[in-house]
Amino acid sequence: MDLKDLQQLIETMYSAKDRKRGATGTFIWLMEEVGELAAAVREGTFAEKEAEFADVLAWLVTLANVEGVDLDRAMRKYAEGCPGCGQMVCRCDQKP
């Protein structure tokens, strides 16, 4: 599944509930999931980590949908390299 497909899947599954909750409520849910991911990374099993990564990604996509952001389009920011230095392998911390 690519990013565009994921965004459409989440839209189909949850859009009515998501729009009622709004951006602020959705953002709070996203942050709760990030906290759960942090706990899983710290001490969880691989399966728990995998599940929490999925939840964080789903809530991020949900927030993008509520805000009308096409994530496929937004990620073009990185298509030609690091936005800071323009390199495919970031060199932002290296002195010229």
pLDDT by residue for the chain (96 residues), tens digit each?
999 999 999 999 999 999 999 999 999 999 999 999 999 999 999 999 999 999 999 999 999 999 999 999 999 999 999 999 999 999 998 765
Q: Which residues neighbour 89 within 8 Å (Cβ) at sequence distance 6 or greater?
A: none
Q: Where are the domains of the chain?
A: 3-78
Residue position matching structure tokens 């932002």: 92
> What distance in Å separates the CA atoms of residue 25 and residue 56, rounded to the nearest whole number?
15
pTM over 0.75: yes
Q: Within 10 Å of residue 19's Cβ, how many Cβ atoms?
A: 12
> What distance in Å separates the CA atoms of residue 34 and residue 46, rounded to the nearest whole number?
16
> What distance in Å separates the CA atoms of residue 16 and residue 25, rounded to the nearest whole number?
14
Tokens for 39, please give them: 């706990």
Write the CATH number of the domain with boundaries 3-78: 1.10.287.1080
